[in-house]
Amino acid sequence: MLESKRRAIIFFVIAIILAAISGYLVLNKVKTLNADLGTMVNIYVASKDVSSRAIITPDDVMIEEIPKKYVRDEYITDPEFFMNKVSVVPLSEGDIMTKNILKEASSVTEANNRLISILRSDRVFFDEPLTALDRVDLIVSRNVDGEIVTEVFMEDVKVARIAKNDGDFSGVQLEVTFEEAPELIHMHHYAERFRVVKANVGQDNRPTNIENEQSTEAEATDDAEDKDETNGSREKKSSEQVEEETSEESDEIEDADSDSDENQEDQNE
């Protein structure tokens, strides 16, 4: 009886030790897996079918969590990345949205306009770095009947976007009409030298400024004339008032003299 009880206690202690060892090993394995997988990260997937070239809205995306280990560089983790973006391919519900399938929405302001890329090269020169919405003039040098001619090709062209390479300015996208696009592309390809020069003021603004200055000058002249007329009328009124007061005083003096003469005649009688 005592021997069997002693054996049971020994087996029980051994079982507890083995259980503790196995629990320790499992815990270490879980910790290792968690360290390999990392924390959970939010990525964005399509919440419904999204057509291509349609601007992404908050209703088009939803959050899904995956281990950090499986997050790839092209996955989107910042919701600000969707601002003014469109998908270049159709998306189905549940598809992961990646940076390489989203592009900037077109910044063309009119339906008849097109964006033409002009990048810096050994034939294309930029006098200074540009920014979006700048205005530029295009000056080209080309061979005309055996002679090199330098001339202004286009004036006051809008810069829609700029291009950068490793953080440095490398070119622009110019917004031109559909009719001007072939001419610009041809000149960009075949001109011997192509220079992009920043314009100080857009042509659309110049006439407006001149008209404003002229209207301001006209208003100032009208105000001066009105002031002169007002001052003249005031001086005229003041002189008329002085004359009226002088005539009234003379009339009063004459009346007083006539009264004194009548009184003197009455006394003589």
Provide the CATH number for the domain around residue 65: 3.90.1210.10
Amino acid, res. 228:
D
Cβ atoms of 192 and 199 closer than 8 Å:
no
Flag whether 252 is in a domain: no
Flag whether 1 is in a domain: no
Neighbour-count burial of 57, counting CB atoms closer than 10 A to its CB (0-12 exposed, 13-18 middle, 19+ buried): exposed
Mark whether 82 and 127 lie in a shared domain.
no
Mark whether 126 and 197 lie in a shared domain.
yes
Amino acid, res. 135:
R
Mark whether 196 and 124 lie in a shared domain.
yes
pLDDT of residue 70: 82
pLDDT of residue 189: 92
pLDDT of residue 157: 93
In angstroms, rounded to a whole number, what is the distance separating the alpha carbons of residues 100 and 74?
7
Per 3-state DSSP, what percentage of the chain is helix, strand, and coil (rounded to 5)?
Answer: 45, 30, 25
Mark whether 65 and 118 lie in a shared domain.
no
Mark whether 92 and 118 lie in a shared domain.
no
pLDDT of residue 228: 57
Flag whether 218 is in a domain: no
Phi, psi of 168 (to 5 degrees): -100, 145
Mark whether 185 and 126 lie in a shared domain.
yes
Mark whether 151 and 196 lie in a shared domain.
yes
Identify the domain boundary among 173, 201, 229: 201
Flag whether 33 is in a domain: no
Q: How far is CA 241 from the centre of its chain?
A: 65
Mark whether 93 and 172 lie in a shared domain.
no
Total domains, the chain = 2
Mark whether 197 and 119 lie in a shared domain.
yes
In angstroms, rounded to a whole number, what is the distance separating the alpha carbons of residues 85 and 80?
10
For residue 72, give its domain range. Answer: 40-104
Between the alpha carbon of residue 81 and those of residues 25, 94, 100, 131, 207, the distances in Å are 43, 18, 12, 21, 40
Flag whether 239 is in a domain: no
In angstroms, rounded to a whole number, what is the distance separating the alpha carbons of residues 119 and 113?
19
Mark whether 78 and 118 lie in a shared domain.
no
Mark whether 121 and 171 lie in a shared domain.
yes
Q: Copy the structure tokens of residue 92.
A: 């189905």
In angstroms, rounded to a whole number, what is the distance separating the alpha carbons of residues 161 and 177?
16
Identify the domain boundary among 104, 132, 151: 104
Flag whether 241 is in a domain: no
Flag whether 126 is in a domain: yes
Flag whether 98 is in a domain: yes
Phi, psi of 152 (to 5 degrees): -80, 120
Mark whether 76 and 98 lie in a shared domain.
yes
Identify the domain boundary among 143, 177, 201: 201
Neighbour-count burial of 27, counting CB atoms closer than 10 A to its CB (0-12 exposed, 13-18 middle, 19+ buried): exposed
Q: What are the 10-residue block averages of pLDDT along the chain, 269 residues in total?
A: 75 89 89 73 90 84 86 88 85 89 70 88 93 91 92 92 89 92 94 92 45 52 57 52 55 53 49
Helices (H), 191-269: 205-268
Helix, coil or strand: residue 103: strand
